[in-house]
Amino acid sequence: MRLWQLAARNLLRNRRRSLATLLAMVVGLAAVLLFGGYRSNILHGLETGFVQYSGHLQVQRRGYFLDGGDNPQAYGIAEHPRMIEAIRGDPQLAPLLRVVTPSLQVGGIAQHAAAGQTRSVMAIGLVADEFNRMREWNAYGVVSYALPLALEGAPADAAVIGTGVARRLGLCEALAVPDCVSASPPRPGPKARGAGAATGLPDDLAVLAEETAQDAQAAGGATAAAGRRIEMLAASAQGAPNVIGLQAVGYVNAGFKALDDVYLAMQLPQAQRLVYGREPPRVTAIAVQLQRTAQLPAARARLQDLLAQEFGAQELELLDYRELNPMLDQTDEFMGSMFGFITLLIGVIVLFTIANTMGAAVMERTVEIGTLRAMGMRRSGITALFLREALLLGLAGVAAGLLLTFIAATLINGSGWAWTPPGYSYAYLVLVRVWQDGALLAGSVAGMLAITLASAWWPARRAARLEIVEALRHA
Amino acid sequence: MALVSLRNVSRSYRLGAVRVPAVQNLDLDIRGGCFTVLCGPSGSGKTTLLNLVGGVDRPDAGTITVDGRDLGRLCDDALSDFRARHVGTIFQSFNLLPVLSAAENIEMPLLLAGVAAGPRRSRVQELLLAVGLQDRAGHRPGELSGGQRQRVAIARALATRPLLVLADEPTANLDTQTGAQIIALMRQLQRTSGLSFVFSSHDPQLRAHADDVVQIRDGRIESIERRDAALESRA
C-alpha cells in the first residue's frame, strides 16, 4: 500500500463529486484545445496562404511597400537576374531556399472591348512555373486553397484574372467561371459622347485601347479567343500611357474579395513591356520562399548581408511575410486575445471547482487527518497526500479531456462545415488543428495540471496546519 | 527512572472568551512495562494528559520527558517522527481509515516509520495473527464489527513496537462482552510484548486489570495506586 493508492482510493470515496469535478476539467480542457486548435488552423492557414503567394521574404526597393504601390515605375529593382543568381548561389542561403522568383506589380485599367466593360486592376507579372511552385508550399499540412495559375506553358500574352474581375469585365461565361454572372455593360449617360463614353475611359485612351484590340483580333483571328481578349492600360516608366493586349486564359479566386475584384496575373515579360517598353526591364519584388518558416531569421540575416555587400547602391529592404501582410499579426492578436480570455474563464472555473472539491474533502476527512498526524505523518505528508489526490484527478481529467477532444476534433474535421470569413471571397472549412500543434497541447495539459495543483494547494495547506487535537475532536 | 515523566505541566483550552484549565501543575511518573490506567470523571483531564504524553499536544507550561526525550524541545517534524516510531495510539472510535483494508490499516504506521516492504508485510501478518483477524485481512472497516475494528486498531498501535501505547477509552464504544475480550487481548499483548500501555477509562473491568491506577480530578492527580511493587524494579 502506497500513498498514491491511498490518494486514489480517497478520490473514489465520493464518486459523484469527483465525477462532477472531473467533468468540469474534461469540458474545460476540451474547450481550450478545440478553440486553440481552431485558432491554430486559422493562423497556420493564413501563414500558408501568404507564404504561397508572396514567399517568406521579399526584396524590394526601400519605400515601395509603404509608398510605391501606385508607382511601381519609380521603385523598380535593376539587375534582378544577377541578384537572383547571387541569392540562389549563396552557399549559406542555398540549403534554405525553395523558390526565388521576381515579380512586377502594376496598377492599371483593363478593358474587355467585346463586352464594353472596363475595370481597375492590380496586375502582377510573374514567372508562372516558379510562382506555381511557390503555391505548392505547405509545411504545416493544412487544407490548401491555392491552385496553380493557368499561366504555366501559356502564350506570352496570357492572363489569369480574379473572379471579381471576370464578373466586372463580362468574362464569366467565356471563362466558364462557376457561380459567376457577368455584370451588365454600363449605360451611357445623357451627355456622354465619343469613343470613351461606354467604357468610362478618356476618349483618346479608349481609341488607343480599341485599336489595340482590333490589331489583336486581326492577328489572332479566332472568334472564341477574341471573346476573351482584354487590353490593359497602364502608365509606362516615362509616364506616358501604354496599352498591351492580353488573352484571358483562366480565372482564380484570390481569396479576399478586395483582391479578387482587382487581380490580374500575366507573364513577367509582358508586364515589363507594359511598364518599361524598350528600356531595361525591372521588377518590383523578388520573393524568397524558404523550406520552413523557422529558417526565416537565419535567411533574413544572411540575405541582408548579401544585398548590402553586392547591391548596396540600390537601397533595398527586406520584408517578411508578416510585414507584407499585417493582417496576419492582427488576426493573431485578435484570436490570441479571445483564446486568452476563454482560457482564463475556463481556468478560473476549473480552479474554483477543484478548490471546492478539495476543501470539502478536507472538511469531511478532518478526523482522518488528525489520526494520520497522531500516527506520525508529518504536515508535509498531509500536504503531499492532498496534492497527490489533486494530481491524480488532474491526470484523469487530462486523459479524458484529450479523449473528448479527439472525438470532437474528428467529428468537426469530418463534418465539412464551412463558412466565409468577413472580407473573404470563398468559404473556408472549419477545422481544428490540435494534434499537430505541440505547443498548444503541451501548454494546455501543463496549464490544466498546474491549475489542479494550485487549486488544491490551499486546502492541502489548511489540512496540514490543522491542530491534531482539534482535528480528532471534529464531529 | 520512569518511562514518562511530567513536571509541573499545565494545559488550558480556550472556550469562547474564557480559558478552561484541563491540566494544572501536574507531576506524574509513568513506569515502563506497565498497564497504567488514568481514571476520573468526564472533563477531569484524562484525554488531555494522554495527548500531552503522546506528543499530539503541547503543554502551556512544564516539561514532559519520554524515555529521556524532552518533547518540548522537538520541532513539529521531529515530534511527528517521534510519534511514528515510539507511540501507538488506540482511539475510542477506532479511527481506522475507511478506504484501507484491515491489513493496510495495520501497515500504515510501518509505512510512516519508513519500514521496508518485506519486514512490513511479515509484521502485518504477525499482528493479524496476534489479534485473530488473519481471515479478515482484506476487509475494510465498514465490513468489520466494532470488536474487530478495535482489534485492528490495537494491532495498528502495536505495529512499530512503540515505547508507549496510548488508548483513550478503548472500550467505550463496545458492548460489555466485547470490551472484556478487548481488555484481555490488550493485557495479553502487553505481557507478551513488554510494552507500556496507558489508558484513560471509566471502565471498572479495565481498572481491574491495571498495574497502576492514576486518579485525576479537575486536572490534578488525586491519587496513584501502584499494585505490583515488583514492577518498580523493571521501571
Contact A378 B81 (CB under 8 A): yes
pLDDT of B186:
85
Q: Are strands A57-61 and A316-320 parallel, antiparallel or unpaired?
A: antiparallel
pLDDT of residue A141: 84
Is residue A408's pLDDT more than 80? Answer: yes
Tell me which amino acid residue A149 is: L
- Residue B165 pLDDT more than 50? yes
Percent residues over pLDDT 90 in chain B: 70
pLDDT band at A120 (very low <50, low <70, confident <90, very high): very high
Instruction: Give chain A's largest Cα–Cα span.
Output: 108
Show residues of chain B in contact with A381, CB under 8 Å. 112
Which residues does A59 contact at the CB level (< 8 Å), separation at least 6? A77, A83, A285, A286, A288, A303, A307, A316, A317, A318
Q: Is A63 left (phi over 0), alpha (psi -120 to 50) or beta?
A: left
Q: What is the pLDDT of residue B230?
A: 44
Q: Say whether B95 and A9 touch across the interface (CB within 8 A).
A: no
Q: Give the pLDDT confidence of B98-153 residue by residue, as tens digits.
A: 999 999 999 999 999 999 999 999 999 999 998 999 999 999 999 999 999 999 99
pLDDT band at B232 (very low <50, low <70, confident <90, very high): very low
Question: Rg for chain B (alpha carbons), in Å?
Answer: 17
- Contact residues, chain B, for A1 at CB < 8 Å: 100, 104, 107-108, 111
At A339 the three-state DSSP class reads: helix
| Contact residues on chain A for B97, CB-CB shorter than 8 A | 6, 368, 371-372
Provide the β-strand partners of residue B207: none
Q: Which residues of B touch A377 (CB under 8 A)?
A: 80, 84, 112
Residue B36 in contact with residue B198, Cβ under 8 Å?
Answer: yes
B190/chain A closest Cα distance in angstroms? 19
Angle between helices A15-54 and A326-364 (to 10 degrees): 170
Contact status, residue A140 vs residue A436, Cβ threshold 8 Å = yes
Residues of A in contact with B76 (CB under 8 A): 378-379
**Mean pLDDT of the A367-376 span:** 96
Residues in chain B within 8 Å Cβ distance of A376: 80-85, 87, 109, 112-113
Statement: residue A29 has pLDDT above 90: yes
- List chain A residues with CB under 8 Å of B57: 468-469
- pLDDT number for residue A210: 62
**CB-closest option in A368, A379, A472 to B97:** A368
Tell me, what's the pLDDT at A344? Answer: 95
Chain A's closest residue to B79, CA to CA, is A376
Mean of the per-residue pLDDT values of chain B? 90
d(CA A111, CA A55): 30
> What is the reported pLDDT for A449?
95
- Mean pLDDT across the stretch A165-194? 77
pTM summary value = 0.78
Closest chain A residue to B77, measured at CA = A378
Distance CA B11, CA B53 (A): 12
Q: Which helix (H) or strand (E) holds A356?
A: helix A326-364
| Cell matching residue A30 | 476540451
Measured CB to CB, residues of chain A less than 8 Å from chain B are: 1-3, 6, 9-10, 12-13, 367-368, 371-381, 468-469, 472
pLDDT for position A219: 54
Q: Would you call A186 exposed, middle or buried from its count of C-beta atoms within 10 A (0-12, 13-18, 19+)?
A: middle
Rounded-to-integer distance, Cα A319 and Cα A238, Å: 28
pLDDT over 60 at A1, yes or no:
no
Residue of B nearest to A471 (CA): B56
Residue A182 has pLDDT above 50, yes or no: yes
Its ipTM equals 0.93
- Write down the pLDDT at residue A197: 53
A361 CA: distance to closest CA in chain B (Å): 14
Predicted pLDDT of residue B233: 41
Residues A222-244: tens digit of each pLDDT:
455 667 899 999 988 777 889 99
CB pairs under 8 A between A and B: 70
